[in-house]
Amino acid sequence: MEIYDLIIIGGGPAGIAAGIYAARQKINTLLIAKDFGGQVAKKAVAIENYPGFAEISGLELIRKFEKHLRKQKIDIERDEVTKLKKIGKKFFVRTKNKHQIQARAVIIASGADPRSMEVPGEKKFIGKGVSYCVQCDGPLFANKEVAVIGGGNAGFEAAIFLAKIAKKIYILEAGPKIRADQTNQEIVKKTGKVEIITNVVFKKIQGEQFVKSIVYQDQRSKKEKTLPVEGVFVEIGSQPATSFVKDLVDFNEKDEIKVNPFAGETKTPGLFAAGDADNVPFKQIVIAAGEGAKAALAAYNYLQKLK
């Protein structure tokens, strides 16, 4: 069985940067990714804080990342890692397509998945009105009424995106106050299409073949209300995509992998983590990319010592 020096798990900014740096160090590398883009591809409004690009769509930025990666001499596979273990000095990576690959070092750059509402009907209607990606699915809701779940910046940015498409948008927030910054609040107000409802306890999403409404309880009046909407966009944050790695790492209370922030080392020699999957604060593209680069260089040093 072929053994790679390094396997990188993830095709977002952290994984792609790690791949570019690993290739430049001439490490025999395999990058495995469920998709290319990660959270950046799902961003609803333009990115304005990645150096070199004053304003660029998430999709365009991540396509540039991917194009850069594909120029490198590394192997790339579209697959999902389901299990990671270490026996002796070797890592064994199992994927959904059922094969097992060996490596001497691994970088986990699997980022984060959207957090779900955990209400009846949510899972049933995924792809039938329930969405976690306004950029991908928003255009399907032309002239329709939709709900955005979450009153933070992500929710407000989703509403700004949808205001160009949908007839009416409700922003539903569980807390007593919205959390989006002032600029986003002003833009949302200007659209004239968005109604904000706070103090919401989500009860269920209902419909037949597709979503027809969302049911919630008003925390103040305790009355149950039904909003007739055809789309529900869930924007309530994310959770680290780290379920395939168990006892090889320590987790913090948010399920983020604990690393040494100098170079992304975990408690297991040869196993590194980078980007939103780890416990380094400030989840941003530039930070994830920087961590990916550091982890690849640290993996190179580790592999040199191993030889």
Ligand X SMILES: Cc1cc2nc3c(=O)[nH]c(=O)nc-3n(C[C@H](O)[C@H](O)[C@H](O)COP(=O)(O)OP(=O)(O)OC[C@H]3O[C@@H](n4cnc5c(N)ncnc54)[C@H](O)[C@@H]3O)c2cc1C
Please report whether residue 181 would count as binding ligand X according to CB under 6 A.
no
Q: Which is nearer to ligand X, 119 or 274 (CB)?
A: 274
Verify binding: residue 255, ligand X, rule CB under 6 A: no
C-beta separation of 263 from 294 below 8 A: yes
Chain centroid, CA 221 distance in Å? 36
Q: Cα–chain-centroid distance for residue 223?
A: 35
Q: Indicate the length of the chain as a whole number.
A: 307
**At 19, is the secondary structure helix, strand, or coil?**
helix
Angle, alpha carbons 251-252-254 (nearest 5°): 110
Residue 107 or 207 having the CB closest to ligand X: 107
Q: Of the ranges 33-41, 184-192, 200-208, 249-257, which one interacts with ligand X (CB under 6 A)?
A: 33-41
Give least dist CB 268 to ligand X, A.
17
Considering the complex, state which of residue 116 and residue 217 has its C-beta at the smaller distance from ligand X. 116
Distance, in Å, from the CA atom of 255 to the CA atom of 251, rounded to the nearest integer, reads 5
- Residue 134 sits at φ, ψ, to 5 deg, of -65, -35
Under rule CB under 6 A, residue 109 binds ligand X: yes
Asked whether position 244 contacts ligand X by CB under 6 A, the answer is: yes
Residue among 162, 156, 147, 150 at smallest CA distance from 189: 156
Provide the residue type at 195 as one letter.
E
Residue 35 near ligand X by CB under 6 A: yes
Piece in contact with ligand X (CB under 6 A), picked from 120-128, 143-151, 205-213, 271-279 = 271-279
**Footprint on residues 277-306 left by ligand X (CB under 6 A):** 277, 283-286, 288
Closest-CA residue to 96 (of 240, 238, 239, 243): 243
Ranges within 47-106 binding ligand X (CB under 6 A):
47, 49, 80-81
Positions that interact with ligand X (CB under 6 A)? 9-15, 32-35, 38-40, 43, 47, 49, 80-81, 109-112, 154, 238, 241, 244, 275-277, 283-286, 288
